[in-house]
Chain A
Amino acid sequence: MLLEVQGIGKIFGGLAALEEVSFSIQQGEILGLIGPNGAGKTTLFNVITSFLYPTSGDIFFKGEKISGLKTQAITQKGITRTFQNIRLFEQMTVEENVMVGRHSRSRAGVLGSVFRTAVQKNEEARIRERTEYFLGMVGLAGYNEWPAVSLPYGLQRRVEIARALAGEPQLILLDEPVAGMNESETDEIAELIRKIQGLGITVLLIEHDMTMVMKLCDRLVVLNFGQKIAEGTPQQIQNDPEVIEAYLGQEEEE
């Protein structure tokens, strides 16, 4: 069990965005988190990464309680994420964005940085090497010096994924990585997610593109109005009457 979400609730001024949500993620799997808009998927991401603190419930990562920790501590422990509304560092180049992503896996302080000690130089070289590697992996080799925000939307999403990978996570949270992409771009990202899985990284994925989710994910968790309504393999989910009613049902009626 890599991540365990136990009875998580999140209340925003009387409105329950999440209610008693429990599920767990196995080491090495791709778990899809689906549900209609407003179901609480991004809120759950924000709770896992301590962007928000839960009103009730606990989260365990590798058996250790992480709910209540600060965001940076959770990153340090090996959970990184991307954002639904892209949050790249706007005045940095592509390369610098990914280098910042490696912050949690490096340690040079003020004096080391100013006096350029041997340790610091080695570390900086390693940061660049890993940055190159992840840029290549997401298909952005050669884009190093480009201002991140000058890239097309789809490529910015790839920068975000490279930046999240640079933190050498054990669990990566991807928030709608193919939103607004066409079919071939979607296939490329699906391919990339499989490569990420190939590195031994567990993936938690929020996505609305059902074709992709059904093909890619090992298991799915379905949220509706802040509650978990189903959990299982894509096969089971597709045949779950409650899911069909709440979510996929709309498609069947057409």
Chain B
Amino acid sequence: MINPYYLQIASFILINILLGISIYITLATGQLSLGNAGFMSIGAYTSALLTTKLGVPIPIGMMIGALLAGLFGILIGIPTLRLHGVYLAIATLGFGEVVRVIFINWESMTSGAVGVAGIPHLGRTILAGVQKQGFSPETWGLKNNEFTGLVVFLILLLITLSVIVFFARLNRSRVGRAFQAIRQDEKAASAMGINTTYYKILTFSQGAVLAGFAGALFAHVTGYISPADFTYHRAVEILVFAVFGGGEILWGPIFGATFLTIMPEMLRSLSEYRYMIYGAVLVLMMVFRPQGFIDADLILRLKGKKKEKVYAA
């Protein structure tokens, strides 16, 4: 039951869900940001370097990493406010690449392309902590690696659920309605008295904070990061979570991240062919459900609240 391999996949699913939500929240005001891999790397490197080089405790390192990513979110969000659609996507993708190249070349700090190794592992740090208190995983009938895997999974689960509740509640509020209004018609939204600039930068930086936080978690779950973890492949992968699952509803990227993380693992026996299947699934999705798997209509139907459309007489 408690298989470290499964627990690790489950942990990656949860991190990917956070990344999926990070792009969803920026999309909520109609901004397509492909910079989230860049924000993720800022969070990951900040926390990794603070904990390995300065011995900062993991939670504080992660907080600082997330906040720093958010700060960059604001810095990038303001000048790109005037950009829409694909232009914003290209600009933010460019930002992500710039950040990655900086991490490659800033060798004295980041060890360049080699990456940062020996990052304190979240699970093992907690294990060491509880062992000091005289607790042994044996008491629960667990091996050490089972215990660490389980602890990491549970912490991530708690964090992910909190993030989901946070944004689900935000969506059903004055702020969430303002987000939706801006996405659907920005000029009309401003005529409602909505400060579109404020809310657009808000979602942009919220997305950056969340991506940075997910990056920091990634660093402390894998124990090793390098610039290769944050290439534009990662940016596109995060985008695909939202596009595949559906970018308009919070549940969309959650489903997308879950499905697209599990699928390659399930198909592992097919080795190289699995990414062909992955690609084929994406193509089919775009043909049959271009709005993504989960959309507002599907949610209404699941709730049984679907209204018949009425047409003018």
A-to-B contact residues, CB < 8 Å: 49, 51, 70-72, 75-76, 80-81, 83, 87-92, 96, 99-101, 103-110, 112-114, 116, 120, 123-124, 127, 145-147, 150-154, 163, 167
Contact = CB atoms under 8 A, between A and B. Distances in A.
Given A110-B202, A113-B173, A152 B311 contact: yes
Nearest to A71: B190
A106 B174 contact: yes
Given A81-B191, A92-B177, 18 more contacts: A72-B194, A92-B184, A96-B177, A100-B194, A103-B193, A104-B192, A104-B193, A108-B173, A108-B174, A109-B175, A110-B170, A113-B169, A113-B170, A113-B176, A116-B169, A124-B173, A152-B311, A163-B192
B188 A72 contact: no
A174 to B, nearest CB: 13
Nearest to A173: B191
B191 A100 contact: no
Task: Output the residue of A72, A104, A147, A150 with the most chain B CB within 10 A.
Answer: A72
Contacts of B177: 92, 96, 99-100, 103
A153 B312 contact: yes
B188 A89 contact: yes
Given A87-B185, A114-B166, A150-B310, A71 B191 contact: yes
B194 A120 contact: no
B304 to A, nearest CB: 13
A75 B181 CA distance: 15
Interface in B289-307: 296, 305, 307
A89 B313 contact: no
A242 to B, nearest CB: 34
B195 interface: yes
B268 to A, nearest CB: 39
Nearest to B307: A146
A100 B189 CA distance: 8
Nearest to A112: B173
B305 A145 contact: yes
Given A91-B184, A100-B178, A127-B174, A75 B193 contact: yes
A92 B188 CA distance: 13
Nearest to B196: A72
Contact of A91 (B296, B310, B313): B296
Interface string B153-189: 0000000000000100110011111101100110111
B299 to A, nearest CB: 12
A80 B193 CA distance: 9
Nearest to B168: A114
A145 B307 contact: yes
